Amino acid sequence: MIIRIEVSDAELEEMDCSSVEEFEEQIRDQLDNGVVTSDGGTGSEWMAEYELEVIKVD
pLDDT in tens, 18-58: 999 999 999 998 888 766 666 766 655 666 788 999 999 99
SS3 at position 25: helix
Nearest to 20 by CA among 58, 48, 55, 52: 55
Q: Between β-strands 51-57 and 2-8, what pairing exists: parallel, antiparallel or unpaired?
A: parallel
Q: What phi and psi, each to the nearest 5 degrees, are found at residue 51? A: -120, 130
Ramachandran class of 4: left when φ > 0, alpha when ψ lies in -120 to 50, beta otherwise: beta
More confident residue, 16 or 38: 16
pLDDT of residue 51: 93
